[in-house]
Amino acid sequence: MAEKLAIMIVSEEYEKSHVASMIASVAAVSGIDVSIFVTGNAVFNFLKKNVEKKNFTGGKLYDLIKEKKATLFYELFDQAKMLGGLKIYVCSMVMDICGLEKDDLIDIVDDHLGLAAFLGIMEGAETITF
Amino acid sequence: MTEEELKQIKPTVTVDARGTYCPGPLMELIKEVRQQPVGSVIELISGDAGSAKDVPEWLNKVKQEFLGVIPGEGFWKIYAKKVKDM
C-alpha cells in the first residue's frame, strides 16, 4: 500500500463519511499520510450547524450507530488527527457556491482547497472515493 | 506465545475497550502504545470480533510485537509489547 492515502468524500450519505473516517483513522495511525477532500453534498456533513444537531442523511446503519452510541465520523477524524498525520480539506468551489465561510465548518477541517492543489496532494497516493 | 504463557503475563497496563466498535479498540490500544515506554506490555480487552485479527495486522505494520490472544466469553484479551518508540 502507498504511504500516502487520499480520500474524496462526495456523497452526503452518512455511512460514506463514516467508512471514510474509519479507513482514514486506521491508516493515519499506521504511519500513512492521509488527506481528505470533502466536496459535493458531503460538505453538509462538515457544517457546524448539522454536526451540532446530528442532522445527517442516514439509513438503517446510521440509526443503529446513533442508538448504540458508536463513535461518529467526525469524532473518529478528530482522534486520527491527534494520533497521526491526517488533513481535511474542503472544496473551495462548493464553499463558494454555498456561500460558506471557514467558520461554518467544524474545527477538524484544516483548510479549503482548489482542485489543482488537491491533485498535487493526490499525486502518488492511493485514492478512494466515497 | 501459548495461552498458558499469556495467562502468566503481568501487563504494564490494561485497556478495557469493551463497548466500543471497530476501530475503537484498535485506537485505544494505539493511544497506550504511544504513551507507554518501550518494553511495556499492553493488555487490550475487546468485545469486537474483528480486533483479534485487526490488532496483529496493525502491530505487524508498525513493527511492534504481537504476543497473542486469549479468547473469552464474548470478548478477547489481546497482548502487545512495545519494542520501539513511535
Burial of A61 (0-12, 13-18, 19+ CB in 10 A): middle
B:34-53 residues touching chain A, CB 8 A cutoff? 34
* B18 lies in some domain: yes
pTM of the model: 0.89
- pLDDT of A2 > 80? The answer is no
* B46 lies in some domain: yes
Cis upstream peptide for B56 (omega within 30°): no
Domains of chain A: 4-129 (3.40.1260.10)
Closest-CA distance of chain B to residue A22, Å:
7
Q: What share of chain B is helix, strand, coil (3-state, %, to 5)?
A: 35, 25, 40
* B71 lies in some domain: yes
Average pLDDT over residues B41-65: 94
CA B44 to chain CA centroid, nearest Å: 4
* B20 lies in some domain: yes
Domain residues for B39?
Answer: 3-81
Contact A126, A35 (CB under 8 A): no
Task: Express each pLDDT in A66-116 by its tens digit.
Answer: 999 999 999 999 999 998 899 999 999 999 999 999 999 999 999 999 989
Average pLDDT over residues A8-15: 97
Catalytic center residues of B: 22
Query: Cβ B27–A31 below 8 Å, yes or no?
Result: no
Neighbours of A19 (CB within 10 A): 17
**For chain B, what percent of residues have pLDDT higher than 90?**
90
Residues of A in contact with B20 (CB under 8 A): 70-71
The structural domain count of chain B equals 1
CATH code (residue B71): 3.30.110.40
- pLDDT of B63 > 60? The answer is yes
